[in-house]
Structure 1
Amino acid sequence: MHKARRPRDMGNNTQSCGAEDKAPRAPLPFAGAMSRKRTFMANGTEFCVDERYRFKHVLGSGTYGVVVACEDTRTGRNVAIKKILQPFEEEYATRNTLREIKLLHYLKHENVLSLLDLDEPQSVLEEEWLTDSDELGDEDDLSERESPQHGDEEETAQQRRQREAAGPGPSVSPDSEGRRCARGGARTARGTSISEWLPREDDAIYMVTELMDTSLRRVIRSDEQLSLAHTKFFMYQLFRALKYIHSANVLHRDIKPGNVLVNRDCDLKLCDFGLARYVDPASKAGNGASAQSPPFLTEYVVSRWYRAPEVLLSCPDYDAKIDVWGAGCIMAELLSRKPLFQGTSTPDQLHRIVRVLGSPSADDLEFVTVPSSRRFLEKMGYRDGVPLASLFPEDTAPDALDLLGKLLMFNPAKRYSAEQALNHPFMQEYHRMFAEPSAPAEVERGFCHDDEELDEAQMRRLIMDEIACFHPHPQFSHIPKLSSEVQYCDDSPVARGAVSVISPEAGVP
């Protein structure tokens, strides 16, 4: 495969746009926020980001948005910036955006893509802000809304009736110089309180992450020579990532080669958590719903070729084993250089799985609780299946096939977990228990709220809180901070480098 050609330099299309026309009355709401933005066009989409990010080339695009490579001129490192298009236009888009931001923010592991920055929405620079240092003049007409201060005379009954008739207003207290400041109020003629501000519907979200060279999908489809060592090392890192996120009770829900990023020295990172969900471990169903509730994970979520049988059969009870099935499909694709189950529809996908694995036994069908799904399987008739060895090159290691068989068990109760996969003999070369951490409890606390109960305004507020974590302001001091950095072990196989590098011809831009 030829090396991907980079787009031409944007030249004069790259410019800085500032706030010269509408300078804010008060300091920007985020400490260190820059008043200047850099704009450029990428695949017909306008980017307006912090001027520290210098555009290099387009990485990809889709219905979710556009991803570009940029240089962070402040640190000198290359980063990827994902512009999420219209994240606030529909409630489901806002919800998915919130989930991905929170998960990437709190999941700290060397095999999970790291969120480096959330650039402030453009509307932040267009507001006039009230801060604690703003002095309010007579035009604010707060005299009737003042609460008696310490040392003042007790308010009379008439004053109290006037205050109650006026309705609630911003609380007023003297600052260090005895001047009055509005705290936490709504928008006034003077500006907007930071604590009341929400992103606009037309605002875009810019997620700044680590930059990787390519995806596993492009590597598999390239002419790159992949040895068994490559397969082993890639799968080891993927299982490390899955063990970590599953220990935080997070399901990725879209495991496929396109969502696994790699670089030339074969480091691997799991990405795209837009469909991921936190699962309450105390609930029986994945979303804590009753048996009559619809499944929280529908068959339309995961890409068809990588959907687990329980997803295809619309079973309401899911767990982390759906991600393990996807990992098994990736392993099979690495070994054969083609997808194992290439179904054209949900029924066809099930037929292809049964033709390879054989018909499930009566015991293996206990997890199928939907009557129509059970009837569908019964109508398929009995099949013996085929030996996995017949589907792969003759020199495929027996322990690799043994692990693959345990990853692709039809019954999720019999399917391996990510932690079990790490302990399999095929992974013995790289397996180091101390280098395969679980997520600390504080990670789970960062996103364990039930976002299904949130309205759109609350979700926008939470997204704003996440932005404030990267651009702190005193009014957002309630936001918890993580004490842990990326879970990294200097003696892990990932740190040491274990296999030969991937050549640029493997689709690396």
Structure 2
Amino acid sequence: MGCVLGRPVSSSDSVSGSIHQVSTRYERKEVKETVTEAETISSIVVPVARVDEIKEENEKLTGESKRSNKADPRKSNPPKHLIGEQISAGWPSWLSEICGEALNGWLPRKADSFEKIEKIGSGTYSNVYKAKDLLTGNIVALKKVRCDVREKESLRFMAREILILRRLDHPNVIKLEGLVTSRMSSSLYLVFRYMHHDLAGLVASPDIKFTKQQVKCYMKQLLSGLEHCHSRGVLHRDIKGSNLLIDDEGVLKIGDFGLATFFDPRRRQQMTNRVVTLWYRAPELLHGVVEYGFGIDLWSAGCILGELLTGRPIMPGRTEVEQLHRIYKLCGSPSEEYWRKIKLPSTRKHAQHRPLPQYKRRIREVYKDFSPEAVSLMDTLLALDPAERKTATSASMSDFFTTYPLPCQPFDLPKYPPTKEIDAKRRDEEYRRLREKRKNAHESGRRKTKPRERAVRAMPVPEANAEVQSNIDRMRMITHANAKSKSDKFPPPHQDGLLGFPMGLSRRFEPSEIPFSSTSFTSYANEPLEMWSGPLAPVEFTDIAAETRRSGGCGGGSMRMDVKV
């Protein structure tokens, strides 16, 4: 359903327009008459008019340059009549306000028209689910975008991704097929065609080895998709194996445009350098540059080429410093010309990232076992200077794709079992768990004595415990009978609770009364317990002691007291 982009002109608008035209013609006539009367005045008026015209053009260019620094001007402040039409079509007001023309020609899908099957991927800003479209019966991928309606910045990022996906249309770029939203909540799902594989899962599989034709086929499709993105002014900024999706027909599509942005190489614009996964991040981003271009996507493509050839990531750094060190060891240390050309944020960061040892470029030496054409293309894409990486168009015309063996067609690629990045993560976690288990077993086998486990605890036999309890009761009675002070007769509770029983319940146990269990010697009898809170209070203690002496003291049996605190 299309949306009307204009509005009918009212009568007041036409009247005001005619008045403006009449006044304009009158002003032009007056200026013309003035010019014909005096050439000297003409020589003065014309330059002034030219200055005003130049000033107006400069202001116009300044406004355009300011708008170009934003993510995209079309997704903010859309016309009110357009918002009203989109809301009446079923779009939430908050989404219509930020997306603008990105929603034109679309109708929102209902959440109950899809059935989730399983979760196939997760990221920092979104989760991806495999689902079934109940209207068509097709299997699709639903990308749930995490956004907060109260934070306009997160909404702008989401709107930018939708705008970029609507702008792109290429066989090697994922296509946005619809949006699922709700008026009651801020949940938003992006609908894509379901892709059976991703390149990271295929590379991580130990049973899959790519041939030269297959490597060329995947790389040609990747560069073709990047060429289309760059020609449309889109910078992806997160090219990696898990974002290169492959369907069951062997077609590679660039996906996940969550970090992508609009870029015009003719204008200078500052962007964040906290983009691209670390293993595929270009050196200028690691140096802190905020003015970069399409070269960062080409660097990532060079890393992908090396990964396809070797079967593993070529520069897997754990930190930014280590990543720079790996780049220098493979691609060489930056030259003085590079440092002069690059625009670093500060001289301090310049000195911080300049390596002390001087490394030589070793790409051709490290990958000498591969074809010269493949190494030459990798050497170009992994150039430290972004300008030397050239363009995606020149890379796709490299000798690597024109020499024998030629790249195969996508439909000639083998059919692989379904695998995703999440499957690769599970394999990595399982491998890491097994490795830790073997390491711990090896270390424990080298120890001379094994530590005692808490579950296996030595339990005293009932006869021995009964004898110990009898001796404790006998010693207590003797001590209390010969005691001279009140504190000796009535010891504090922390001195009489060694076996876990209250003082008033101390008695002799017979072996037959004690069950052989782990709780036999830590349980309490089901009788009222004394309430002790430390030493006895002097006033209450005097009355209780007198009553005890009148009743016979601590003579024969057990003694029981209830003390009120």
Bin the TM-score by the shorter chain.
Answer: 0.5 to 0.7
AA matched with 2:200: R
> Deviation digits for residues 413-432 of structure 1, max 9, x if unmatched?
111311111110112279x9
**After the TM superposition, which residues 295-374 of structure 1 pair with which residues of structure 2 at under 5 Å, given as runs?**
295-298=270-273, 300-370=274-344, 371-374=347-350
Residues 57 and 316 of structure 1, relative CA distance in 2, 3 Å threshold: closer
Q: CA–CA distance in 2 between the matches of 1:387 and 1:28?
A: 56
Q: 1:280 aligns with which of 253, 264, 268?
A: 264
Q: Is the 8 A contact 2:229 2:235 kept in 1?
A: yes
Q: 1:112 aligns with which of 151, 173, 183?
A: 173
- Secondary structure of the residue that 1:330 maps to in structure 2? helix
How much does 1:32 deviate? Answer: 12
Residues 87 and 357 of structure 1, relative CA distance in 2, 3 Å threshold: same
Q: CA–CA distance in 2 between the matches of 1:305 and 1:314?
A: 16
Q: CA–CA distance in 2 between the matches of 1:341 and 1:32?
A: 45
How much does 1:328 deviate? Answer: 0.6
Residues 497 and 101 of structure 1, relative CA distance in 2, 3 Å threshold: same
Residues 360 and 56 of structure 1, relative CA distance in 2, 3 Å threshold: same
- Secondary structure of the residue that 1:207 maps to in structure 2? strand
Q: Is the 8 A contact 1:107 1:245 kept in 2?
A: yes
Q: Is the 8 A contact 2:287 2:353 kept in 1?
A: no
Residue 29 of structure 1 is matched in structure 2 by 88
Q: Is the 8 A contact 1:87 1:204 kept in 2?
A: no
Residues 398 and 52 of structure 1, relative CA distance in 2, 3 Å threshold: same
Q: CA–CA distance in 2 between the matches of 1:32 and 1:301?
A: 31
Q: 2:388 aligns with which of 407, 414, 425?
A: 414
Residues 28 and 96 of structure 1, relative CA distance in 2, 3 Å threshold: closer
Structure with more strand by fraction: 1
Q: CA–CA distance in 2 between the matches of 1:313 and 1:75?
A: 49
Q: Is the 8 A contact 1:342 1:349 kept in 2?
A: yes
Residues 93 and 352 of structure 1, relative CA distance in 2, 3 Å threshold: same
Please list every run of 5 or more consecutive structure 2 residues that lacks an aligned counterpart in the other structure.
1-85, 93-108, 424-565
Residues 379 and 221 of structure 1, relative CA distance in 2, 3 Å threshold: closer
- Secondary structure of the residue that 2:88 maps to in structure 1? coil
Please list every run of 5 or more consecutive structure 1 residues that lacks an aligned counterpart in the other structure.
1-26, 34-47, 124-201, 288-294, 433-492
Provide the identity percentage.
32
Residue 250 of structure 2 is matched in structure 1 by 266
Q: CA–CA distance in 2 between the matches of 1:505 and 1:77?
A: 17
Q: Is the 8 A contact 2:367 2:375 kept in 1?
A: no
Q: CA–CA distance in 1 between the matches of 2:355 and 2:216?
A: 38
Structure with more helix by fraction: 2
Residue 441 of structure 1 is matched in structure 2 by none
Residue 366 of structure 2 is matched in structure 1 by 390
How much does 1:378 deviate? Answer: 3.8
Q: CA–CA distance in 2 between the matches of 1:268 and 1:309?
A: 27
AA matched with 2:165: L
Residues 335 and 356 of structure 1, relative CA distance in 2, 3 Å threshold: same
Residues 403 and 213 of structure 1, relative CA distance in 2, 3 Å threshold: same
Q: CA–CA distance in 1 between the matches of 2:349 and 2:322?
A: 14
Check if 1:93 corresponds to 2:93.
Answer: no
AA matched with 1:410: L
Give aligned pairs, total. 318
> Deviation digits for residues 120-167 of structure 1, max 9, x if unmatched?
3242xxxxxxxxxxxxxxxxxxxxxxxxxxxxxxxxxxxxxxxxxxxx
> Deviation digits for residues 65-121 of structure 1, max 9, x if unmatched?
321112223333221111112343433321211111111122111111110011232
TM-score normalized by the length of structure 2: 0.52
**After the TM superposition, which residues 226-237 of structure 1 pair with which residues of structure 2 at under 5 Å, given as runs?**
226-237=210-221
Residue 148 of structure 1 is matched in structure 2 by none
Check if 1:221 corresponds to 2:200.
Answer: no
Q: Is the 8 A contact 2:265 2:293 kept in 1?
A: no
Q: CA–CA distance in 2 between the matches of 1:353 and 1:382?
A: 12
Q: Is the 8 A contact 1:264 1:501 kept in 2?
A: no
Residue 529 of structure 2 is matched in structure 1 by none
Q: 1:102 aligns with which of 138, 144, 163?
A: 163
- Secondary structure of the residue that 1:51 maps to in structure 2? helix
Residues 52 and 404 of structure 1, relative CA distance in 2, 3 Å threshold: same
How much does 1:325 deviate? Answer: 0.3
Residues 398 and 429 of structure 1, relative CA distance in 2, 3 Å threshold: closer
Q: CA–CA distance in 1 between the matches of 2:182 and 2:402?
A: 47
TM-score normalized by the length of structure 1: 0.58
Check if 1:405 corresponds to 2:379.
Answer: yes
Report the RMSD for the aligned CA atoms in angstroms: 2.9
> Deviation digits for residues 272-312 of structure 1, max 9, x if unmatched?
1111110134312xx2xxxxxxx4122x2221111111111
Q: Which has the higher contact order (CA 8 A, sep 6+)?
A: 1
Residue 65 of structure 2 is matched in structure 1 by none
Q: CA–CA distance in 1 between the matches of 2:129 and 2:254?
A: 18
Q: CA–CA distance in 1 between the matches of 2:114 and 2:292?
A: 41
